[in-house]
Amino acid sequence: MKYDILIVDDEDIIIKLVRHLLIKSGLHHDPQGFLTGQDALGYLNNQKDSNNPQIILLDINMPDFDGWDFLDFIPSMGLDFPVYVVIITSSINKSDRIKASQYELVAGYIEKPVSMKNMEEIKALEPLSSLFNT
């Protein structure tokens, strides 16, 4: 595969669930899970040698360093590879959806619970579809 998938969520069981769905749907054979945004940023920082695009499935509500902080931080890192973020949140607030759409990094927005159907949606996302077809 020419891309990596990261799952960032403060709940272990959600990572497990999303990982399972990603594998089953064939989107990726080994997605990486992170319980905090900082851990995920650390991982991204170590990928400087790789040119693989990174797809990040990002939870918004996390203690201390939340999804918004994560999104605000990424541009300052000067990463050489493309980063695509798909928000995965339990929020059903319109204001959160609107806020997410204002980030250039954000490619998609999924409301929990995550199901197989969402995996199909990810495959169809405009900025990502080219990755999956090659």
Partner 1 sequence: MNEKEALMRILVIEDNMGDFLLISEYLEEEFNYLEIEHTSTCKEALTRDTSKYDVILLDLSLPDRSGEELVTEILKFAGNIPVIVLTGYSDRNFAIKSIGMGTADYLLKDELKSDILQKSITYSIERKKVFNQLEDSEKRYRELFHLSPLPMYVFDKETFKFLDVNRAAISHYGYSKEEFLEMTVFDIRPESEKDRVMETIAQNEELEGRKNPGVFKHLKKNGEQIDVEISYNDLDFEGNPALLVLANDVTLKFQYISAIEKQNEKLKEIAWIQSHVVRAPLARLMGLVNLINMTDDDDPDIDKKEMMQHILNSTDELDRIIRDITNKTEQINIDSLK
113 binds partner 1 (CB under 8 A): yes
91 binds partner 1 (CB under 8 A): yes
Pairing of strands 106-111, 54-58: unpaired
Q: Min. distance of Cβ 134 from partner 1 in angstroms?
A: 28
Residue 23, classified by CB atoms within 10 Å of its CB into exposed (0-12), middle (13-18) or buried (19+), is: middle
115 binds partner 1 (CB under 8 A): yes
β strands within the chain, DSSP E: 4-8, 32-34, 54-58, 83-89, 106-111
98 binds partner 1 (CB under 8 A): no
Q: Min. distance of Cβ 107 from partner 1 in angstroms?
A: 21
Q: How far apart are CA 86 and CA 129, in angstroms?
A: 13
Region binding partner 1 by CB under 8 A among candidate stretches 46-54, 73-81, 105-113, 124-132: 105-113
13 binds partner 1 (CB under 8 A): yes
Q: How many CB atoms lie within 10 A of CB 132?
A: 17
**Contacting residues toward partner 1, per CB under 8 A:** 11, 13-14, 17, 20, 24, 61, 90-93, 111-116
